[in-house]
């Protein structure tokens, strides 16, 4: 048994989802480029997708500060899609079905190559779940379409708070009927892990150095307070002796 496995008595390993388990950027660029090609909409889809993801944190922050009432991530994605379709000049080319289809692409993202195999191995021994800002239906569709082995879907929607609000981390621990030190968060984002650590959770950093594209400059390496840092989920399973 490895040092990590003996050190940690866990009930569950929870995973941030967008970026950590699924490659939203490559998936969305591929789907929207195909869509644009079929419709004759010529825009820089990589720039569009980056702008769409860029709207994510500010839109959640408005909800977190209670400047806006609770909205699901699907609703935030729809709002920012409509804004950006206007900015990128193709809003008039779309009908309601098109908009729904585009926003639904977030429900059909592809996993990283190691995700499914890594989760399957870890799930043999521990409860495996999401800890995500995605709403429940989004996560359910995503887990089905990407064939993610999952026992539970913990969503910001259950708590009506978005990460990094403490309610999300503490809410999941309460639903697991356990203590923070028996739950590990695995994420590709150091600020998410720092929040989990501040509540007493265990933390695993997984490197996703191309999540934001070839020029990514953040979250390339683990912060100094994570318990385990790995290249991918196969290595996490190896290190956890799963």
Q: Does 242 engage in binding with a copy of itself (CB under 8 A)?
A: no
Q: Does 144 engage in binding with a copy of itself (CB under 8 A)?
A: yes
Task: Indicate the residue among 151 and 191 with the shorter CB distance to a copy of itself.
Answer: 151
With contacts defined by CB under 8 A, name the span among 22-30, 49-57, 81-89, 137-145 that binds a copy of itself.
137-145
Site for a copy of itself in 42-101 (CB under 8 A): 72, 74
Per-residue binding letters, 157-176, with a copy of itself (x by CB under 8 A):
xx----------------xx
CB of 196 to a copy of itself, least distance (A): 19
Task: Indicate the residue among 80 and 135 with the shorter CB distance to a copy of itself.
Answer: 135
Nearest Cα to Cα of residue 131 among 15, 13, 12: 15
What is the DSSP-derived secondary structure letter of residue 227?
S
Q: What is the 3-state secondary structure (H, E, C) of 181-196?
A: HHEEEEECCHHHHHHH
Nearest Cα to Cα of residue 211 among 80, 56, 50: 50
Q: Does 130 engage in binding with a copy of itself (CB under 8 A)?
A: no
The token pair that represents 176 in the structure block: 């697991």
Task: Indicate the residue among 16 and 157 with the shorter CB distance to a copy of itself.
Answer: 157
| Helix ranges, 149-232 (H) | 156-159, 166-175, 190-198
Among 55, 120, 127, 170, binds a copy of itself (CB under 8 A): 127
What's the angle, vertex CA 238, arms to CA 234 and CA 240, rounded to 5?
115
# chain residues binding a copy of itself, by CB under 8 A: 20
Three-state SS at 61: helix
Q: Does 10 engage in binding with a copy of itself (CB under 8 A)?
A: no
Q: How many helices (H) and strands (E) does the chain have?
A: 12, 6
Q: Does 137 engage in binding with a copy of itself (CB under 8 A)?
A: yes
Q: Is the dihedral of CA 205, 209, 213, 218 positive or negative?
A: positive
Residues at the interface with a copy of itself (CB under 8 A): 72, 74, 127, 129, 135-137, 140-141, 143-144, 151-153, 157-158, 175-178
């Amino acid at each position: 048994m490895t040092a990590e496995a003996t050190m940690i008595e866990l009930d569950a390993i929870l995973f941030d989802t967008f970026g950590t388990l699924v490659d939203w950027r490559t998936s969305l660029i591929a789907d929207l480029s195909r869509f644009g090609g079929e419709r004759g909409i010529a825009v820089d889809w990589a720039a569009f997708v980056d702008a769409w993801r860029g709207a994510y944190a500010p839109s959640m922050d408005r909800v977190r500060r209670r400047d806006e009432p609770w909205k699901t991530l699907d609703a935030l994605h729809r709002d920012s899609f409509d804004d950006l379709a206007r900015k990128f000049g193709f809003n008039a080319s779309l009908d309601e079905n098109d908009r729904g289809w585009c926003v639904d692409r977030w429900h059909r993202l592809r996993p990283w190559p190691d995700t499914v195999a890594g989760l399957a191995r870890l799930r043999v021994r521990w409860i495996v779940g999401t800890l995500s800002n995605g709403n429940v239906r989004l996560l359910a569709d995503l887990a089905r379409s990407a064939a993610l082995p999952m026992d539970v879907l913990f969503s910001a929607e259950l708590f009506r708070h978005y990460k990094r609000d403490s309610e999300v981390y503490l809410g999941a621990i309460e639903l697991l009927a356990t203590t923070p030190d028996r739950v590990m968060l695995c994420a590709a984002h150091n600020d998410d892990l720092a929040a989990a650590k501040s509540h007493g959770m265990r933390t695993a950093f997984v490197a996703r150095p191309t999540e934001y594209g070839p020029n990514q400059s953040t979250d390339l390496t683990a912060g100094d307070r994570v318990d385990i840092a790995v290249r991918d989920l196969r290595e996490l399973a190896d290190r956890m002796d799963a």
